[in-house]
Structure 1
Amino acid sequence: MADTGDVRNNEAEGRYELAVDGQLAIAAYDRREGALVFTHTQVPEALKGQGVGSRLVKAALADARAQNLKVVPLCEFVAAYIERRPQEQDLLALDAPG
């Protein structure tokens, strides 16, 4: 399995980042009214199928929880990740902000 390093929140760019084997996976978001609105997740082709996207989203959701933020998953990958994990569904915003 690839070395997955650490996920970091790049607030200036509005995205979570995970550098793996010299490539960057991202989960882009907009922060609005107490929520993170996830808009796009991108994993380089060479890293797909290795769990990189899941690790990235898991860390992003943990960070949202730590900040007492809700989540709006406009990104299909983030939405599917949360749908498969009941323990994360309390993070969903009932009313999408903005």
Structure 2
Amino acid sequence: MTIDAAITDNAEAHRYELPIEGQVAVVTYNLSPPNLMITETLVPQALEGRGIASRLARHVIADARARSLMILPVCPFFAAFFQKHPDQADVVHPTYRISLGLPDSAS
């Protein structure tokens, strides 16, 4: 996975932002290294159904991996994303891997 240049990390607001068509899709987080707790994924209704949340998820995962952070997917969308893409579970905190039924590590 690669970093998406259109998505920015607004560290002051504790969220990743993706501006599209005058609106902003966001992933909110709490950072406490080495953990990155993903709390919410918000996509404006007019932009739903276009894969934007998945695009944000792929970016956040790549960023966490690059920064050696472990994701705590409290957000229901992120939890479901990892269940659909267990190959990305290497960045999920071990406790959350167990509770989500994910593999111990990517193989």
TM-score (norm 2): 0.81
Q: Structure 1 residues 86-95 or 62-71, which shifts more?
A: 86-95
Q: Which runs of 5 or more structure 2 residues have no equivalent in the other structure?
A: 97-107
Structure (1/2) with the larger helix percentage: 2
Higher relative contact order (CA 8 A, sep 6+): 1
Cα deviation for residue 16 of structure 1 reads 0.6
- Matched letter for residue 55 of structure 1: R
Structure 1 SS opposite 2:59: helix
List 4+ stretches of structure 1 deviating above 3 A.
none
Q: How does 1:1-98 map to 2 (within 5 A)?
A: 6-95=6-95
Q: What is the aligned residue count?
A: 93
Q: Which runs of 5 or more structure 1 residues have no equivalent in the other structure?
A: none
Q: Distance in 1 between matches of 2:33 and 2:53?
A: 26
TM-score (norm 1): 0.88
Q: Distance in 1 between matches of 2:87 and 2:22?
A: 32
